[in-house]
Every structure is written in C-alpha cells, then in structure tokens.
Structure 1
Amino acid sequence: MKRELSHRQLQMLIQVSNAINSTLNLDMVFNTIMRETLAVIEAADEGYLFLYDPEEDMLVAKSIFLRSNDILSVVRLKPGESMTGITFLNKACTHFPDRDSVYQATRTMSPGNQARLTAADPIFPYSAACAPIMTNGECIGVITLDCFHPHKSFQPEDLQLLEAISHQAAVALEKANLYRAQENSISLLEELNVQMNRQNQLLNRSLEIHQHLARLVLHGEGLQAIFTYLHQLLGKTCLLLDQTGELIVASVEPLPAATQNQLANLRAFLHPLLVKATSLPLPEAPHTLIDCVLFPIGAKANFLGYLVIVTTEALEEVDRAALEHASTVISFELVKKQAIFETEQNLKGQFIEELFAGRMSEQLTEQAKHLQLDASRFYQVLTIHFEADKLDFAELYSLILTVRRHLTQLAADLFLKRFPHGLIVARHDHLILLLSYPQSVAEAEAQRYLKEQCQMFADYVANKKWGLRAAFGIGSVKRGLSEVYKSSEEAVKCLQFLKNYKTGSSYISYSELGGKRLLLQNSADELTDYVLEVLGPLLSYEKSRKREFLQTLAAYVANSLKMKETAQSLNIHLNTLIYRIRRIEEILGISLAVNKHFMDVCLAIEVYGLLEVQVEQRMSQLLSPAR
C-alpha cells in the first residue's frame, strides 16, 4: 500500500478480518467477505466476488450482493471482459470513476453477457472499484463494487481499504481451501475405510463359502448338496441347466409353476444359441434376464451349461462373488461327470465294436461280465441315427456332440428303465442300444413297447426344434451275445431301408420288412427299372389321369383278386371294377390269373409305393419330347 491505513480504516479492516476468519466454510467465507466489505465502504451499493476457473479459463461468480437481481450468478466472464476481467488481467486495484469509464469497460463484454446484464438492470453504476485477489503473485479472483448514487464516489481511502480487504480475502480463501482439501481427504479416507471393510467382509465370506463348497466336493456330496447350500445361502431358487437349457439340478423340488414358466422362457432364449452356431457363444459375465441371472459354466472350448438364479432383485456384490465361486466348483463337478461319461462310452464303444464284429472271445466274455451282460439272455440291437436337412456335416456333428449326453440320458430313461440289463453307446451321429431280455419276456409285448418308446423319442427330438431328425433301425431278438452281431446288421439294414424308401415312419423293425428285405440287395435305379418293366405301359397310359387304374390294380391285388371286396373298398360298382381289370390286363398284356404275372405285379406295386418319386421322375423323362 502506498500509504499507511488510518486508525478508522484499521478498525474496519480488523472488523472485516475477524468476520471472514470466523469460519472455514468456503461458501460462508465468500458471503462474509462481500457482506463485510459492503458494510465498511460507504459508497458501495452492490458487490460481487468472482473466482478464476483455470480449466474453463473463466471468472465465475461465487458471491453476489445486488439490489434486486442475481443475474450475475449465470454470467461467466473471460479474462479482460468487463471491469472484473480487466482488473484480473491488470492484477492491480482499478477505479472506474464515472459512468463513461464504466460504460466503456462493459463494452468489452460478450453479446450474450451484455444482453443478460441489460435485461437485469439497464441502469449503469456511476462508478466502480475492483480489487484483485492475489496469491503467490497470481490473481485468483476479483472483488467488484458498484456505486449507483450520483453524489457518492469511491475515495482513495476506500480503494486503499478495498485493496487491504482483498489481501485478507486471499488469506481467508487459502485457509478455507486448505480446510476443504483436508475435509475431502478425510472423507476420502473414510470412504476408503468403508470400502476396505466391505472388501474384507467380501473376502472373508467368499473364503468361507469357497471352503464350504470345497468340503462338499471333497466329501463327494454332489451337485444336489451344492444347490441346497446355495439356496440356504441366498434364499433364492437356483437351477443348473445344460447347454440345451434342460434342467440338471434344482435347489427346490417340485418347482413352483411360476419358476417352470420362467424356465420355459429361458429355454426359448437359449434355443437360438444352440442351433445357430457350431460352437456355443459364451457370455463373458453373468447375463441378466427378466427375473433371473445366468452364470456361464465352463470355458468356450468346453461349455457345460448355466447356473441360473431366479430373482427379481439385483444381486449384491457379495452374492455375485459367492456364485462365481460356485460356478467354478460346479464346473469341476460337471467336468468330472463328463470325463466319467466319455471314459464309459469309450470302453463300451470298444466292446460293442468287437461284439458286432462277431468275434466272441474269452476276453470279450469277461468284459461282458464287467458290464453285467449275461451271455445266456436274449438281446436286440436298436440303432438311432440322427440327420438334419439344414446343417452341413460339421454343424451336424457339433450339434450332436453338444446334445448327445442329454440324448443318451433320454434313451436310457425311455428304453432301459423297463429292461435295465442293457447298455447305450454314443457313436458319432448315432446311438446304439443293446437291449437285454429274460427268457420269460413276452416278445410281442416287448416289441410293441419298443415302438412306443421310439415314437416318444422321435417326438421329443422334433419338439426341441434343434433341426435334428431321428430314425430307428430295430434288429430282431437273438439268443446269447454270440448272435448279437446279426441283430446289429439287421438294424443297419433297417436304417438303410428308411433312408432309401418312403415309408412315412421314423422306425422299422427287421421282422416287419418281410420280403422287402430283398429290395436292399438292389439299387434304387435297378428297382425303378423293374417297376417300369412291369407297370410302365399302365403308368404311360395314365400320364394325364389321376392314376385311377393303378389304384384299382393295387386294391385288387391287396384283396387277393376278390372282386366284391375290391369294389367295396373302392366304393365303385362291380361292373365298373370288372371293366377296369379287363382294361388293365389289356394295357399290361398280362393275365392276373397267371401266378407269375400276379407275383410280378404285387412286387412292382410294393416297390412303386416305396419309390414313387423316383419312378414318376423317370416316367417324366421318358415321356418328355426329345430335344
């Protein structure tokens, strides 16, 4: 200061200093500075304190004492803008002694700020005084005072006092900032302490849960015990699903109706993941759906299924950590079960290959005993083959690999529960079932039951909409293991017949094939040629008709050449039938009374029913004009 403060000014400065040092609250410091400054400088009618924000390069209003409007609370000034900005750049106390100097200073404001100021108070002050708030040679803010009385003005002693107050304000602000920083540090430490305590609790609980789950595994308690523990821990229903969405384990049984509905919706969500890709997509983190949370089990290379928590509430961090531990333990259990399944399948597969090769030996007999197969019982082979029209070989194999454990279990439930002394082997794109019967079994009843189960299996696979189709080849019943290979060969022939010929059924037994077995010894082309040799003239004659004569001939043969029964089955007059049969014999150049002609026609009609598409295509080619 150029000259010392007067006694009165010192008293005022002490008054201001005491007031602004009475609090360390930053907001209160701002207001106290302005209130006390306006109180000790008589010419000041309004005042405001701006602090500089270096990140935005703006002077921002922190405390405002205006006559009627707080428009300056939204005004942000650039350095050099208006009286406050000019003082900020000058870093010195600045006096604007008259309206003209005030007006010239406000002309430096941006258009937006000028509009706001004019809207708030169109009257310019008669004079103004500004003092920078300095700290370590840097300006951190500005105190601005306005005088609106024409007969008042800021005197040199007022400017001197304002400068002294700005120095006190700088000290007070620095202290308040230090206090706020200390408060923030304390708050941060408290928050960190809370987080550390929570992390410790989380770690302790996670360790406790992990140890409990580990004990369950080490004691061989199994998956059901794990899920019972999770239910007790969380108070929520927990489910384990395989890759297809089928339920493996539930923490409560039976499942409530609402949970069963959720499970159906969940399967619908997972279904596209199963059928769209050759390898299942694996979520990297728990996936939240409506009223449930999914935790993936296993790795992408060996995806095993999902842990599902049925809940309408968000899971707490501690519970999520517990479930992640549980997912790891469950994956170990599933991998163990999978390894056991694969080992069993390999051993059974090797046994089946030797058995179906017809090479009985003492070693094979011993293996049969280990598999609890009695060499003196009756056996039958059922082969289930899987096909898919819309998948290539790699996609089909991947899909079968994904669902084969599930399908193997389904086959065991359907076929082995009634006759348990058999075995199932999963091989590539098919399942092989070796069914075992006691001597006392009623064969007709057993075969009827077997076909019913085949239909149930086929319906189940179709309803899953995986894109798979199941076909069943059923060999005949053989006595003793030494004859099983014959039943295996028969089952393969049945599958070949289903593949080559249209039967309208997904299963057939070798005994049902009857004389159709002979068809397997010839190719489809050879059989088509045979049909055309026998029935060709009739098919050619009826090329533009609805195969009326062919239907009549088939009915006549099926009714053993009995006119009355045939006419009744066709719902036609007997004379009409007589005419048709006579005309058919004329077209074919045969007599059905001749045994050879009758046998040829019977066989040709049977083959036509199986190869209708191929025969009609050949007929179209033969009848189309040569190009």
Structure 2
Amino acid sequence: MQTDFLSHPLIRDLRQVTGLTMTHRDVAARSDAAVLISTERCDAGHSTVIADHSYHTGKITEFTFSAPNPAAVCAAIQAAVQAAVADHQGRMISMLASINAEVINSLDGTEIVRNVLHEVRHVLGACDSGVLRLYDEKSGFLLPVAQEGLPEEYRQYRLLPNESISGEVFSTQRAALLNGRADIIAAHRVMRPESQSFMERSDIANALMCVPVVTEGKCLGTLTTLCFSPEGRFAPFDLAILQSLAAQIAIGYRRSQSYQEALATSRHLEETREALTRKNHDLDRAVSLHEALLHIFASETGLAAQLDAVARLYRVEFRFESVLGLAHRTSGWRDADEAHALTQTVEAAGIAVGRFLVRIKGDPGVLRALFGTVAAFMALDFMRNLSQLDLLNARKGAWFDQLTSSRDDRRPTQFGFHPDRHIQVMMADLPDDGSVFGPYRVLSALQEALPIRNVLAFHRDEGIVLTISASTAAALERNIVAAAKAAADMGLHMGASTAREQFDNLDEAVTEARQAAHAQQRRNQAGLLRYRDMGIERLFTDRTRNEILDFSRQILAPLTQPRHRQLHQTLIRYVAEGKSAARTAQALNIHPNTLYQRLQRIEALISRSLSDPADYTLLSLACQLEAEYGAGPIFDPDTR
C-alpha cells in the first residue's frame, strides 16, 4: 500500500487553498487497529497528526503542519488515510476474486498452484517470492512443489515437520508473520545439519509470512511468502490475505485431487473391463484350443502322428525332445531355427521330461499358449507311457529270470528278443540323477547304439541289464564294441560277461557282468570292461577302490616320498617293459648302467629282490593296480 498521503486529492486541495506545509515519515507500527488518528500540539503553533495504519501496511505516518484551524486539517488527513485504506482493501478483494475464479475454473493441481503463486506477488506488493510445500507421506518430508522468484536449487530444500518455520507452521497450523532478519533467524529453532547448511548458503529475507494449507481439517502443507527488500514489511492484513489464498489453494488442490482420483477410478474401471474382455476372449480361445488338441490326441495314434497333426493345424514348425530319448521334428524344421527358437518345457510330476523348440512366427505369446497346452497333453501322455514302461520293464525282468532257470531248449520270442545261438550279458550302473526317467533314458540310448537290435533290455535296483543274442560270435562282438563306445560317451561304468551258448547259466553271466562293472567303477573309468580282461582284479571283487589302493601303496610305501618320484617311475616302467633293461633304459632315455644303479636303490628301499619270483610278482601286481586304480604317481600313503 502506498503511504505518500501528501499527493492524495483531499490533502492536495487543502494545501492549495490554505497554503499549509507539512512533512511525513514512516515509523514502526504501534497499534493493531485498522486506522488510528491522534493529534498533538507543538510549540510555535505547530501541530502533529499521527496516522496508524500498520494493520494494513505495517507502518505509521506522521504529519506536521502549522495552520489556524488544526481541526480541519486533522479531519482532512483522517479522511485521506481512511480513503486510501479503503481503496487498498477494495483492490485486494478484487484481486482475490480474480484468483478465486482461476482456481475454480481449473482442475489441474499444478496449474492451480502456479497461477496462485504468480498472483500472490501482484496482490502483496511487498512480496518478492513464494513457495508452496506439500507433505509427502512416503518420505515424511515437506517438499517444495512450486516456487516463484527463488533459485532452482530451492526445490531441494525439503523440511521435516517441526523443522524450521514451515515445519512448525505445518505441525501447529498457526500462521507466522516475521519482519526483520533477526526475528526470522531466531524463528529457525529446529534445523537439521543439511538444512542449516542450505540456510547459510542462502540470502535471508527481510520479511516472511507462512500459513498452513488446510482442507477438511487436514493440513496439506504450507504457503510461504518472502520479502528481500530492506524497507519491505508484511502487515497483519497481508497475512489475512495470504491465509485466504492458502484456503483457496487447499480447496482447489483438493478438488483437483478428487478429480484426478475420479479419472484414475474411471481409467481403472475401463482397464478392468478391457482386461475382462481380453480374458473372456483368451478363455474362449483356450477352450477352442483345448478341444482341438483333445481331438488330435484322442484320434491320432502314435506320438509322431499327433505332433504332425498339431503342426499342420497351426502351421508351425518345431522339434520335440524327451528324456527317454524320443525326438520328433516337423518336416519344415531346420537346425538353424534352434538359435532363435521359443522353448517350452514339458513337466510331469514337477520334473522336466522334455521340451519343444518352436520356430517363432507371429505372436510369441500365442505360440507359448499353444505349446503350453500341448505340453500339458504330452505330460499326461508321458505319465501314462511311464506306467506302461514300468510294467513292461517288470515283465522283461521276469521273463529273463525264466530264461535262466528253464531247461527247455524251445524258447519263444518275446518283447522283440529272439534267443539265438550265442548270448552275452552286459550290466551298467544306474544314472546318478535319481530320476525315475533316468534308467529308461539310458536304456533307450544304449539300444539305439547297438547295430543288432536283438536285445532284451531292462533295469533293476542293481543296475541296467542288456542281454544280446546273435547267430555268430562276430555279431556279438559288434554289439560289444558299440556298447563300449556308448558307455564311454555317456559316462557309464559297464561290464560284459563272457560269451556263451547256453541259456541255463545266465545267472552266472549276470554275476560276471556285474563284477566287471564294479571293477570299472572302482577304477573310476567310464566305458566297458570285459570280464575276461579283469585278470587279477577278480581277486578284489568284494573290495573297494580305497582298499585296493591301500594294498598297493603298502607294498610301494618306501617309494611314496616326493624325493623318490624318479625311482617310482623307473620301477613302473621296468615292470611295464617286462624286466627288459634295454627297452626300459631307452624308454627313460638313460644309460643301462644308470638303470641298474636305480634298480639297486629300489631294492634297498623296499627290501625286496626283483630277481626273486615271489617279490617280483608282488611288486608287479602293485604296479598294475596303481596303473588301473591310481590317478597318477603317489607320494603320500594316506592319499585316497
């Protein structure tokens, strides 16, 4: 509000008529009254009139004059001041009405805040800047959401409730009016270190007002105005105007929130309706898909025919793999498709039993839905087939037991196995994955590897049993060679019995195959071992690998020290070369005399003679066991 009352028409006219002189000055407010006029008589005919309008301006004005009729001048001054205050009130109310219209006509919370803050600086003449803080329940801070006339970094000046002036106003919901830097600094009673640091880097205002933004009994935040001018002051009337603006912001902002919530609810309902429509569509499609696949798996016979029917109906190319070794690919599938194929796992009883690799064409989601349903049918079919496999496996084992106990030379063909002139049994340990599908997977792979398919294959708790029969010994040998390669590739420990022409002692053949498989397991070597090649190992049938190594290392114990590694290797080579000094020296690339010197040291260390048949047999056996069961040279008798 302007305080230059000397230019007011009432006083200007009075001065022109009477020729009066007067002065005025602004001093600190002394009263909360709207307008208060007091008159004092001075010496030499001078009079003083004090107009206290600090409620509206934060100031008072002092008039000094000399006139024959002081009462008339005093009345004119009073009328001028009251008129100016009334004009000021009228302008402020008019501006408030304009701001209120902008708030009412907007449903955008950001726009409301921006418009009101912008107009505050026009309504309050002393206002240089303003900031609106709203309480964020998630972080627990009062966050600046809009500002006018402040640096950009002010947006980072967040406060806790009870902290600084804004935090205290938010907590107490009592407005604050402060004029003077000292009062503003003193009002910052509670400050966190980071807030204190921000204050120290910032300019301190000369005047400040802060009011709560309250609606429906809930405080949303605070509205603060600042004046940095050294002469600027805020009056109680300014605070009342700011409180009115804060109420408008609160009402408008709450209306905006309600509107946005209504929009969000409407969008949510629309999205729910659309989702329900999609789900109904997906359900119809799923029912149609299920019916089509049910017809295929019910009418088609055989896995290949069923999968080909799926490929034709949905025009899709894929490859199917099973843990049992079964595989199928459509006519259009290419190996190059695998790099970017969609994978769909087939699970039965929570265990992966197969997978589809599907060429991606069109919507991947549709393909996944399709083969997810196909996988469900495959899992049911797989469990049914597994039950049949278990039954078939038990029948094969029972018939094998009949073969071993029957004395009748007339043996009919069963399970695709025809007893021929020659027969041989192989055994392999069960896979260590613990899966119920593992034995069938191994059986399938082994049968697929054999060139002659006259095989009776089944599994028991002690392992996998394969009985092969052929009209010639050469045919049997081809199967043994193929089985050995397959066992090595699959990491199996397999043993083979001796070939025979009699069926009534198959239990003996099973024992031979089992012993050879156990020997291969003790060696920790994958592949097939023939019973006839076990040699001296037959004596260790019931011994573990560690027990056999303990036996050999006790014999060679003096050579197990690291400093005798060279002597240990010399003895191994000497035994391997059949005690030939020439071949041994050549193999070790040393002079024969050096070899003899080493042999003498070896005999002295082990207290045995290489020329004594009993000692040499024992040493040769130990060296052979080390070669078969040891992973390399030994240096510690306690090594397992």
How far did residue 463 of structure 1 move? 1.4
Question: Any idea what SS the aligned residue of 1:23 has?
Answer: coil
- The answer to whether residue 136 in structure 2 is matched with residue 101 in structure 1 is no
Is 1:473 the counterpart of 2:473? The answer is no
- Please state if 1:131 is matched with 2:211: yes
Partner of 1:113, secondary structure, is: helix
- The Cα shift of 1:449 comes to 2.8
Task: Give 1:182 shift.
Answer: 1.1
* Residues 492, 41 of structure 1: alpha-carbon distance in 2 compared, 3 angstrom cutoff: closer
Shift of 1:65: 0.2
| Mapping of residues 224-373 of structure 1, within 5 Å | 224-228=304-308, 235=316, 237-242=318-323, 246=325, 248-251=327-330, 255-256=334-335, 259=338, 293=343, 295-299=345-349, 303=351, 305-309=353-357, 319-360=367-408, 368=412
Rounded Cα–Cα distance in structure 2 between residues aligned with 1:351 and 1:296? 33
| Residue 424 (structure 2) pairs with residue 382 (structure 1) | yes
Instruction: State the distance in 1 between where 2:458 and 2:96 align.
Output: 100
Q: Decide whether the 8 Å contact of 2:495 with 2:515 is kept in 1.
A: no
Given that residues 296 and 310 in structure 2 are in contact (C-alpha distance below 8 angstroms), is that contact kept between their aligned partners in structure 1?
no
- 1-side partners of 2:334 and 2:99: how far apart? 76
Q: Between 448-457 and 172-181, report the one with greater CA deviation.
A: 448-457
1:74 corresponding residue in structure 2:
156
Structure 2 stretches lacking a partner, 5+ long: 1-32, 35-85, 543-570, 581-612, 626-640
For the aligned residue pairs, the C-alpha RMSD in angstroms reads: 4.7
Distance 1:335 1:459 in 2: 31
Q: In structure 2, give the amino acid aligned to 1:239.
A: F
Provide closer, same or farther for how the CA distance between residues 101 and 459 of structure 1 changes in structure 2, counting only shifts above 3 A: same
Could you tell me whether the CA contact under 8 Å between 1:236 and 1:310 is conserved in 2?
Answer: yes
Partner of 1:154, secondary structure, is coil
CA separation in 2, counterparts of 1:490 and 1:308?
A: 44
Change in Cα spacing, 1:184 to 1:612, as seen in structure 2 (3 Å) is: same
1:39 matched to 2:119? The reply is no
3-state SS of paired residue (2:497): strand
Alpha-carbon distance, 1:73 to partner:
0.8
Matched, 1:203 2:283: yes
Query: In 1, distance between residues paired with 2:168 and 2:528?
Result: 94
Q: Which amino acid aligns with 1:21?
A: I
User: 2:104 and 2:328 mapped to 1: Cα distance?
Assistant: 70
Output the CA distance in 1 between the equivalents of 2:172 and 2:515. Answer: 103
Unaligned runs of 5+ in 1: 263-289, 388-394, 438-445, 478-482, 525-542, 553-603, 618-627
1:62 CA drift (Å)? 1.5
* Change in CA separation of 1:94 and 1:401 when aligned onto 2, cut-off 3 Å: closer
Matches within 5 A, 1:491-570: 491-492=509-510, 495=513, 506=528
Indicate how the Cα distance of structure 1 residues 29 and 236 shifts in structure 2: closer, same or farther if over 3 A, else same.
Answer: farther
Instruction: Evaluate the alpha carbon distance shift between residue 38 and residue 221 of structure 1 in structure 2; reply closer, same or farther with a 3 A threshold.
Output: farther
How far apart, in 1, do the equivalents of 2:572 and 2:128 lie?
112
* TM-score (norm: length of structure 2): 0.61
The reply to whether residue 464 of structure 1 matches residue 465 of structure 2 is no
CA displacement, residues 293-341 of structure 1 (integer Å, 9 cap, x when unaligned): 46252225xx462314367999955544444333321122222222233
Q: What secondary structure, in the 3-state scheme, does the structure 1 residue paired with 2:162 have?
A: coil
Deviations 1:230-251 (A, max 9, x none): 66759564432316xx563334
Say whether the 8 Å CA contact 1:424–1:433 is kept in structure 2.
yes
Equivalent residue for 2:589? none
Out of 460, 478, 489, which is 1:452 matched to? 478
Residue 174 (structure 1) shift: 1.5
| Matching residue of 1:52 | 135
After superposition, the Cα gap between the structure-2 partners of 1:471 and 1:501, relative to the gap in structure 1 and judged at 3 Å, is closer
Structure 2 counterpart SS, 1:92? coil
Q: Distance in 2 between matches of 1:464 and 1:373?
A: 24
SS in 1 for 2:213: strand
- Partner in structure 2 of residue 435 of structure 1: 469
Q: Secondary structure at the match of 2:237?
A: helix
Alignment match, 2:66: none
Secondary structure of 1:77 counterpart:
coil
1:373 Cα offset (Å): 7.5
The question of whether the paired residues in 1 share the 8 Å contact of 2:135 and 2:221 is answered with yes
Amino acid corresponding to residue 142 of structure 2 in structure 1? L
Matched, 1:214 2:294: yes
Corresponding residue for 2:241?
161
Task: Return closer, same or farther for 1:499/1:102 CA change in 2, 3 Å cut-off.
Answer: closer
Q: Distance in 2 between matches of 1:500 and 1:48?
A: 86
1:64 alignment partner, SS class: strand
Kindly indicate whether the alpha-carbon contact (under 8 Å) linking 1:379 and 1:434 is maintained by their aligned counterparts in 2.
Answer: no
Alpha-carbon separation, structure 2, partners of 1:193 and 1:125: 55
The offset of 1:544, in angstroms, is 12
Return the letter of the residue paired with 1:187: R
Q: Assess if the C-alpha contact under 8 Å between 2:424 and 2:476 holds in 1.
A: no
Look up the equivalent residue of 1:83 and give its one-letter code.
I
**In the alignment, structure 1 residue 84 sits paired with structure 2 residue 163:** no
Please tell me the residue identity of whatever aligns with 1:456. A
Q: Which has the higher contact order (CA 8 A, sep 6+)?
A: 1
| 1:335-388 per-position Cα deviation (integer Å, ceiling 9, x unaligned) | 222223332333333233223212449xx97xx3676778xx84432211125x
Amino acid at match of 2:222: V
Question: Which residue of 2 is the match for residue 116 of structure 1?
Answer: 198
SS state of the match for residue 144, structure 1?
strand
Deviation at 1:94, TM superposition (A): 2.7
Identify the residue that residue 223 of structure 2 maps to in structure 1. 143
Of 162-171 and 13-22, deviating more is 162-171
User: Distance between the aligned counterparts of 1:499 and 1:176, measured in 2?
Assistant: 82
Superimposed CA distance per residue, residues 251-310 of structure 1 (whole angstroms, 9 cap, x where no aligned partner): 457751674xx7xxxxxxxxxxxxxxxxxxxxxxxxxxx97646252225xx46231436
The residue aligned with 1:485 is 504
Amino acid at match of 1:332: L
Contact 1:47–1:143 (8 Å) recurs in 2? yes
Return the alpha-carbon distance in structure 2 between the equivalents of residues 309 and 108 of structure 1.
66
228 and 550 in structure 1: CA distance in 2 versus 1, 3 angstrom threshold: closer
Conserved in 2, the CA contact under 8 Å of 1:454 and 1:507?
no
Shift of 1:493: 7.5
- Distance in 2 (CA, whole Å) between partners of 1:78 and 1:8 is 37
Pairwise CA distance, 1:8: 3.2
Secondary structure of the 2:177 match is: strand
What secondary structure does 1:485 align onto?
Answer: coil
Cα displacement (A) at 1:145 = 1.2
2:446 and 2:486 in contact (8 A); partners too: no
Distance between the aligned counterparts of 1:43 and 1:550, measured in 2?
115
**Separation of aligned partners in 2, 1:418 and 1:306:** 28
Counterpart of 2:266? 186
Q: 2: CA distance between counterparts of 1:86 and 1:400?
A: 69
TM-score, normalised via structure 1 length: 0.62
In structure 2, what residue type is equivalent to 1:613? L
SS at 1:150 equivalent: coil
